[in-house]
A and B are shown apart, each in its own frame.
Chain A
Amino acid sequence: MTGAALARGRTAMPRFLARHGWALGVWALLGLLLAWYSTLIPRFGQFQVVSITKNSLPLIYLAVGQAIIVIAGGIDLSLGGLLLLSNVVAARFMEGQPLGVALLLAVAILVGLALLNGLVGLVIHRSGMPDIVVTLATSYIWSGLALWILPSPGGGTAPEMRWLFTGSPSGIGGTWVTPGMMLALPVLAIYLVLRRTRLGLGLYAVGSHREAARLAGLDVARAKVAAYAFGGMLAGLAGLAMVALTGTGDPRFSVGANATLNSLAAVVLGGVALTGGAGSVIGAVAAAVILIMLNPILSAMGIDPNHAQVIQGALIAGVMMVGGLATILRERSS
């Protein structure tokens, strides 16, 4: 009895490490960076914790959304465009509204974008066109729509919405509790859906081998639509978080384009295989926070701002190569 349990424990642990090693490594790296950052600045307290948490929220949501789609074997270049769309709709229509209306609008935006991007998923599945082509096209449509809804930066949101994402009605210097909750709850919910439901496991199956999944009786179309719908909803959440951070809407194309690229960087750094079927959203979360933290760390180190971006890119490349090497070594040894 005990012997069997022990034996199982012995095999379970390496498997756990093999499956989650990368995510654990990224979290460890984040922990190290946080510890290091706290020694670089004179004071590390609630202000800094809140600052990092809330400023990371948009990228975290977007990275989780991108991770789901990539796990299911796709890639979505339109998430930044959807973020813009959510951002401008919220900023334009929430301004001066009471909390009830603002919350209703928030739900409508999340549901609306989920439906919209689910539809894109269906189009991709039916047309057989590559994900990258379809979503590149839709990214321009969403960005154009955003500019049409809000031609120049402006608008606003309810103070309670700002409090929800930033911990303070003014957006700065609040408590860490609400942004912390807004980080943990959606991520945890998505994680459980992916790992604990038939639908979630189906996404992994479809992403890892589409034809095998179909032959095994999985509804491939449903998986595609679900993955893109989740992605759309999370991009909507990212847009809401961005309005809460700044208190205004920003329809500029570059904002969305940067967000898309950063979401892909976070997914790759977070250990989600771009080939699909492997990885977890947990790693992508830590990777998103790391990407956000690089700027304050590099500036606290006094690195010439003109070199910061190069270092940022080199760091991502370096981490990826170490990860690739680790995978090769592991495969060779087994």
Chain B
Amino acid sequence: MRSPLRSILILAVVLALALSACAAPAPPAAGGGQQASEEAPAQEGGFVLGVSNTLVGNGWREQMICAIKAQARASGVVDRLVIINRNAGPTEQIADLESLISQGVDAIIFNPTDRDALNAVIESGADQGIVMVAVDQAVSSPKAYVATNDQYLYAKLGAEWLFEKLGGKGKVVEMRGIDGVPADTDRHNGFQDALANYPEIQVVAEVFTGWDPSVGAQQALDIITTMEIDGIWTSGIDYPVVEQFIAANKPFVPIVGADNNGFIKQLIELSDEGLVGAAVTNPPAIGAVGTAIAIDALLGKEPERVVTLTPKVFSTDNVEELEALYAPDQPPGWSTYVNIPPYTSYQGKEDVIACKGPGEE
């Protein structure tokens, strides 16, 4: 039973197995040509783009991917997209980026999970001649292209619109997102800086909605039924707040939100009933901007390394603009602002809604 022969046999097999973990996949095409990057001069087309996203089931992120697809298709120079889309942290995203590099894509557009953790893989990709573009959130590596929405100005421009509307005087509510998240911190700083110029504006309540519509709705209901307020600034939980005014049968106060379809609809339809408000853009089409940058870099056009989009403010002061944004067939969470000149070249919201990449159907 415990014969030495068997022990040796088992040990040998185990050793072989353990070693095969490293040895089996030994480079069949060895030669260390690994780092010799494809220093191909600027090509004219036929590109393959990789996409890495790490938050699944989020409307904004899904729209970001659709915008990437639409822009890649509209460019006419992209053959194929390889999309890796799963809920993940930096460990998994590093693995995903490495797997895209392994597949030999020409450029990678990714929404980073961490500012610093991806730097090594970004540099490894860039050294192999792959164009690396971070969208929505910044990374600290200088080898990446970065395209983001300006979160500081998102809050500052919206807050300034609100404070002007109130004549520089009144009680306002700040409905924030998630405490500690960079976008929320940046927005809060923008809000505070706007506030500094309006000494007679008073913040009577500051709440964290967690960017959760049901949470924000409850908080808004509590506030409007128990407090005297003159205006509300929200970090994007906007249409649920307007609904609470209707539910509580309270007169509207000026309200600032994002370019959500549901909010745009309310601003258009309820303007007769006295709803005044502004939608500040935070477009998921930033993915399309990143795609355009990646393609420009591949075509040798040397685009700018860092692009920060300044948000636009659409308000009930100009209802026609709001009507142009409104997408009747889309859900309330749909981001209406999709055309970002000079970057996007798709045919507006129809192409983003279609959500078809190159070669699909």
Could you tell me if B120 and A171 are in contact, using CB atoms closer than 8 angstroms? yes
Residues from chain B with a CB closer than 8 A to the CB of A306 are 56, 85
Given A38-B28, A188-B18, A296-B102, A45:B114 Cβ within 8 A: no
Please tell me if A275 contacts chain B, counting CB pairs below 8 Å: no
Given A172-B123, A191-B14, A300:B99 Cβ within 8 A: yes
CB distance from B195 to the nearest CB of A (A): 25
Please tell me if B169 contacts chain A, counting CB pairs below 8 Å: no
Closest A residue to B51 by beta carbon equals A305
Given A170-B123, A299-B103, A51:B117 Cβ within 8 A: no
Could you tell me if A246 and B17 are in contact, using CB atoms closer than 8 angstroms? no
Could you tell me if A183 and B17 are in contact, using CB atoms closer than 8 angstroms? no
Could you tell me if B19 and A44 are in contact, using CB atoms closer than 8 angstroms? no
Please tell me if B250 contacts chain A, counting CB pairs below 8 Å: no
Closest B residue to A255 by beta carbon equals B89
Please tell me if A326 contacts chain B, counting CB pairs below 8 Å: no
CB distance from A316 to the nearest CB of B (A): 16
Please tell me if A245 contacts chain B, counting CB pairs below 8 Å: yes
Closest B residue to A168 by beta carbon equals B120
Residues from chain A with a CB closer than 8 A to the CB of B5 are 12
Interface 0/1 of A240-266, CB less than 8 Å to B: 001001111010101100100000000
Interface size class of B (residues with CB under 8 A): 35 or more
Please tell me if B27 contacts chain A, counting CB pairs below 8 Å: yes
Interface segment, A52-60, A64-72, A104-112, A218-226?
A52-60
Please tell me if A184 contacts chain B, counting CB pairs below 8 Å: yes
Q: Which of A43, A153, A179 has the most CB of B within 10 A?
A: A43
Could you tell me if B86 and A305 are in contact, using CB atoms closer than 8 angstroms? yes
Could you tell me if A282 and B14 are in contact, using CB atoms closer than 8 angstroms? yes
Interface 0/1 of A279-313, CB less than 8 Å to B: 00010011001001001100110100110110000
Could you tell me if A45 and B21 are in contact, using CB atoms closer than 8 angstroms? no
Residues from chain B with a CB closer than 8 A to the CB of A195 are 10
Could you tell me if B34 and A47 are in contact, using CB atoms closer than 8 angstroms? yes
Closest B residue to A171 by beta carbon equals B120
- Complex Cα distance A8/B20, Å? 28
- Cβ-neighbour of A246 out of B24, B114, B123 (below 8 A): B114
- Complex Cα distance A295/B24, Å? 20
Beyond known contacts A34-B24, A45-B32: 12 more, CB 8 A cutoff: A44-B25, A45-B27, A46-B27, A187-B18, A191-B14, A246-B114, A247-B116, A248-B114, A254-B87, A255-B89, A308-B86, A309-B86
Please tell me if A327 contacts chain B, counting CB pairs below 8 Å: no
Given A51-B102, A172-B98, A305-B86, A151:B180 Cβ within 8 A: yes
Please tell me if B213 contacts chain A, counting CB pairs below 8 Å: no
- Complex Cα distance A172/B126, Å? 12
Could you tell me if A152 and B180 are in contact, using CB atoms closer than 8 angstroms? yes
- Cβ-neighbour of A172 out of B33, B85, B120 (below 8 A): B120
Could you tell me if B102 and A41 are in contact, using CB atoms closer than 8 angstroms? yes
Could you tell me if A299 and B99 are in contact, using CB atoms closer than 8 angstroms? yes
- Cβ-neighbour of B91 out of A51, A170, A245 (below 8 A): A245
Restricting to A141-193, which residues have a CB under 8 Å from any CB of B?
A: 151-153, 168, 170-173, 176-177, 179-180, 183-184, 187-188, 191
- Complex Cα distance A285/B34, Å? 27
Could you tell me if A55 and B86 are in contact, using CB atoms closer than 8 angstroms? no
Could you tell me if B21 and A247 are in contact, using CB atoms closer than 8 angstroms? no
- Cβ-neighbour of A46 out of B34, B83, B100 (below 8 A): B34
Please tell me if A100 contacts chain B, counting CB pairs below 8 Å: no
Restricting to B225-239, which residues have a CB under 8 Å from any CB of A?
A: none
Top 9 nearest A-B pairs (CB, nearest first) are: A180-B22, A296-B99, A305-B85, A170-B120, A246-B117, A42-B104, A172-B120, A45-B27, A184-B18
CB distance from A94 to the nearest CB of B (A): 15
Please tell me if A27 contacts chain B, counting CB pairs below 8 Å: yes
Closest A residue to B31 by beta carbon equals A45
Given A51-B99, A248-B117, A8:B24 Cβ within 8 A: no
Residues from chain A with a CB closer than 8 A to the CB of B80 are 302
Please tell me if A31 contacts chain B, counting CB pairs below 8 Å: yes
Closest A residue to B122 by beta carbon equals A172
Closest B residue to A245 by beta carbon equals B91
Could you tell me if A153 and B124 are in contact, using CB atoms closer than 8 angstroms? no
- Complex Cα distance A173/B121, Å? 8
Please tell me if B101 contacts chain A, counting CB pairs below 8 Å: yes
